[in-house]
Amino acid sequence: MAKAFQTYLTTEIARISKQEKLSEDKAFLFWFAITVLELSEDNAREAMSVEGANDKGIDIFWVDNDEGRVIIAQGKYSTNLNIRPTIAPVTKLESCLNWLANPEALYRDGKPDLAQAADDFIKAEKEGFGVELWFVYTGPKCKNIDKHITVYNQNPDNIDKRRAFRHYHTDLLEASWEETEGVYRRIDKATISVANGIVLPFEGSFGEAVVATVPGDEIVNLYDEYEDRLFDRNVRLFLGVRKGSVNAGIAETLADGKASQNFWAYNNGITIICDSFYVDNATVTIKNFSIVNGCQTAVSLAQGPKEKVSNAAVLVRFIAASPEIVDDVIRFTNSQNPIRTWDIASQDRTQRRLKTEFDKLKKPFIYLTRRGARPKSELKKYRDKGILRQIRIDVIGQYAAAFRGDPVLAYKQKAFIFSKHHDDVFPPDVQVEEVLFQWFCGESARAAVKDAMAMKNDEEVRILKKGGTLFVTAVLSKVLSMRNGATYLKNASEQRITSSKTKNKLLKYALYARDCYIQAVLDQCDVDKGELATHIKNPDFFAKVIERIVRQYKKEARATQYLKEVLPSINFKTDR
């Protein structure tokens, strides 16, 4: 393990612990949720809301509607990163599925958040979502746990139910961090046997390549040794096995003894990028390599029944490509599974323009379209007091959708923001200043929500953990329009948007919006009986909440002096 990662992780956990008012164990889970699972901070808080006393082995619970999977995780942390886990927490994590299948018992047990999670779990399974159990810890890979998880993943019943176990230890945590930092770490060297010793060479302007048939066992051996490090330059890791998905089809093929013999014909194969290779008899030796397409195939083979996988073979392309075309190879070969909608949207003309315009601001921002996609040049111009100014495309999509009045879309249908609603959320003529303002509004709402959650008012925290930042952003936007007029953004400029004066005003608006939102939700829940989690996903419920807030604002607006203090006017024509 690199000393740099240990220093980074312990420092980051201490920072999160202080900022989020969490224990170090929970701070580690929070870090894992946002760094490895790629959840937003708000989603990470919600995913951890089921954690607590008598939590049935669940530290993180998240229904990933974009990828069609349910993520359930348990984690162990120590500052010296030398955890030696036992099998007990792994078996407890397995048994949590029995509890999630019985929400009534959880309600009786006084665990309403966990019971709601159980309802969501049952619904997701009915819709064909796969289930991923994650056991994560800061320590070296434990062979006993790895063996136990391998048996679990090869169990035909688990394969049939589309359930998979993920084993994440310090080496993989470090690899994820390096990818996030844009520090790509390929694997130094490996030798792979090929079927019948036959390889087909090819040369082109891109470099050299060979194509070969590789036994499934060879791919499994490769994955057993290197795990997710194999996919250092892949645009996505394993996406689970949602019913009807490509991955489910792969699993079903491997589970069928006869069909597994036809795997080569059914599968699109694997692409490996390397610096160089050489062929010797029935082997191909590759140096400084990574699988850039075929993660789904490789993991499915590793998790498949061993006796069936031994019958399978897969077509593999080994490409020694020149560095300048590696990104294009990655982009063009990844078509077997659909890339997330925001990955595709990043190539949209509007998004490319925004990326360029964010980079041209006087204080430029990195418009982050995928993990590790930071500029390769010096990052000094993007730093403000040591902190990078960067905007994640998926997060700003949620902020923008909420700001435009659709927080339910932002909260539970993020993928649709970048598909059928893309032009509504990001109109072709949208200006970079408007998106920048939406970002600061979302960040102000996030700060206000985090401040309230630190107060530990159970009812308020429960409301705000359900997409609080996004709903508060929507309310903030509405209040901004009522207070300053529909065209208040007309004269907005980078300098005025980013000024400390505007930031301070926006925080006041966010605090007002937060308090109005909480009270309106409480009042409306008294009228519309039922579970909060169900109401929050209903656009009609939010429309009623907004009606209450509008009435409240109009009543309070009569006190002009009060309004000036609580909601100071924003005039981008005169404000400096």
Q: Output the pLDDT for position 249.
A: 52
- Across residues 166-186, what is the average pLDDT? 75
Where is pLDDT greater, at 257 or 307? 307
Question: Domain check: are 31 and 158 in the same one?
Answer: yes
In-domain check, residue 450: yes
Question: Which of 118, 142, 177 lies at the terminal end of a domain, its last residue?
Answer: 177
- Across residues 324-347, what is the average pLDDT? 60
Q: Which amino acid is at 307?
A: E
Query: Model confidence at 329, in pLDDT bands (50, 70, 90)?
Result: low
> What gap in Å lies between CA 58 and CA 439, rounded to an integer?
32
Question: Domain check: are 169 and 189 in the same one?
Answer: no
In-domain check, residue 571: no
Into how many domains does the chain fold? 3
In-domain check, residue 162: yes
Pick from 165-179, 229-243, 248-262: least confident = 229-243
Where is pLDDT greater, at 273 or 256? 273
Using only C-alpha atoms, what is the Rg of the chain?
25
Q: pLDDT per residue over 6-24, tens digit each?
A: 898 999 999 999 888 889 9
In-domain check, residue 575: no
Pick from 242-246, 277-281, 384-388: least confident = 242-246
Q: Output the pLDDT for position 256.
A: 62
Burial 87-98 (b: 16+ CB within 10 A, else e): eebbeebbebbe
Q: pLDDT per residue over 444-502, tens digit each?
A: 999 999 888 877 677 888 899 889 999 999 999 999 999 999 889 888 899 999 999 99
> What gap in Å lies between CA 74 and CA 294, rounded to an integer?
28
Question: Domain check: are 10 and 138 in the same one?
Answer: yes
Q: pLDDT per residue over 303-326, tens digit each?
A: 777 777 888 889 999 999 876 666
Q: Which amino acid is at 575?
A: D
In-domain check, residue 93: yes
CA 179-184-190 angle, to 5 degrees, is 120
Name 287's bridge partners. Answer: 189, 276
Query: Model confidence at 90, in pLDDT bands (50, 70, 90)?
Result: very high
- Boundaries of domain holding 465: 342-566
Q: Output the pLDDT for position 94.
A: 92
Work out the percent of the chain whose per-residue pLDDT is above 90: 44
Query: By the 8 A CB rule, do 319 and 328 touch?
Result: no
Q: Output the pLDDT for position 117.
A: 87
Q: Output the pLDDT for position 338.
A: 47
Question: Domain check: are 231 and 318 in the same one?
Answer: yes
In-domain check, residue 516: yes
Question: Domain check: are 288 and 310 in the same one?
Answer: yes
> What gap in Å lies between CA 403 and CA 399, rounded to an integer?
6
Q: Output the pLDDT for position 330.
A: 63
In-domain check, residue 572: no
Q: pLDDT per residue over 105-120, tens digit each?
A: 888 877 777 888 888 8
119: left (phi over 0), alpha (psi -120 to 50) or beta: alpha
Question: Domain check: are 323 and 458 in the same one?
Answer: no
Q: pLDDT per residue over 353-379, tens digit each?
A: 999 999 999 999 999 876 556 666 678
Query: By the 8 A CB rule, do 61 and 74 touch?
Result: no
Question: Domain check: are 464 and 385 in the same one?
Answer: yes
> What gap in Å lies between CA 437 and CA 502, rounded to an integer?
10
Question: Domain check: are 86 and 203 in the same one?
Answer: no
Query: What kind and span of H or E run contains 338?
Result: none
Q: How many CB atoms are closer than 10 A to CB 142?
A: 20
Q: How does the average pLDDT of the chain come out, rounded?
A: 85
Question: Domain check: are 64 and 98 in the same one?
Answer: yes
Question: Which of 177, 197, 221 lies at the terminal end of a domain, its last residue?
Answer: 177
Q: pLDDT per residue over 215-249, tens digit each?
A: 999 999 998 888 877 875 443 444 454 444 444 55
Confidence (pTM): 0.68
In-domain check, residue 443: yes
- Across residues 517-530, what is the average pLDDT? 91
Residues contacting 67, CB < 8 A, separation 6+: 239, 240, 242, 340
**pLDDT at position 254 over 80:** no
Question: Domain check: are 327 and 351 in the same one?
Answer: no
Q: pLDDT per residue over 533-554, tens digit each?
A: 888 889 999 999 999 999 999 9
State both tokens at 503. 């930031």
Q: pLDDT per residue over 387-417, tens digit each?
A: 889 999 999 999 999 999 999 999 988 888 9
Question: Which of 116, 151, 177 lies at the terminal end of a domain, its last residue?
Answer: 177
